[in-house]
Amino acid sequence: MVNTKVNLLGIELDNPIIPASGTFGYGYEFAELYDINMLGTFSFKGTTKDARFGNATPRIAECPSGMLNAVGLQNPGVDKVISEELPKLRKVFNKKVMANVSGFSLEEYVHVCEKLDKIDDIGWLEVNISCPNVHGGGMSFGTNPESAYAVTKAVKEVTTKPVIIKLTPNVTSIADIAKACEQGGADGVSLINTLLGMRIDLRKRKPLLANVTGGYSGDAVFPVAVRCVYQVAKAVNIPIVGMGGVSSAEDVIELMLAGATAVQVGAANLVNPYACKEIIEDLPRVMQKYKIENLTDIIGGAL
């Protein structure tokens, strides 16, 4: 009998599988398809201080082995998330949920985190300093160590829950950014967010996305994710949530060997809404195949 449980910053998960923010809504939509309580947890849609309509369309483009998205953090704002979205989730999900926080200023990150920190249903705050699809915020905070440190420190001063900083791969050294977050007090880091990409419409001879660029995700980015998780695991002493192109139980094992304590599944949910369910169901078989009794034993096993 294999043991799929892991402990993420003091909270035990039945398994390490976490649907990634932006690919699972606020959870209750997927609860119509299967019992989402089988998940380790999930990271809900990126939440900002005020409501956002997102970017102009078109904002999705298909690519070989993946997709580009420039949705632009469409969400109803933190107050409505607390008053409308989380009560709906509470009816179908009885575990702690991960709150994904985005912002356009230091003050906005602090405001949103302070509000969400007070909600009992929330177990972790995943602070996104890596969104490539918005202007004047998001990734701009995650591309240099000083800004990453500043956001982390400011958020930690107003919160009591574990803070996980979500990192971008669109930097020279993701390990340096992770170290700055650790120095700022981060309890963990999650990585990678999407790679910056672009497509051009051959007939119109114009960028395919209205935003010009977007975030590239899907199977093709998985080797980049493995490399980044491995490098960060060697650089910091805080837990890592790995993600990027994960679509199978084998991928989960590989990212955990690279150093991840838990693993998020993103674009795969948009292709197959049962992706996380199928990965969780297949995990025991893959563990037995590779003679793994306890998942916790393999975290960082390749380091």
Which residues belong to the active site?
Answer: 131
d(C-alpha 20, C-alpha 265), whole Å: 5
Identify which of 235, 234, 254 has the alpha carbon closest to the alpha carbon of residue 246.
254
d(C-alpha 115, C-alpha 70), whole Å: 27
d(C-alpha 286, C-alpha 159), whole Å: 38
Q: Which amino acid is at 179?
A: K
d(C-alpha 130, C-alpha 167), whole Å: 5
35, 37, 156, 252 from 18: Cα distances, Å: 14, 11, 23, 11
Angle at 45 between CA 218 and CA 148, to 5 degrees: 80
Cβ atoms of 192 and 41 within 8 Å: the answer is: no
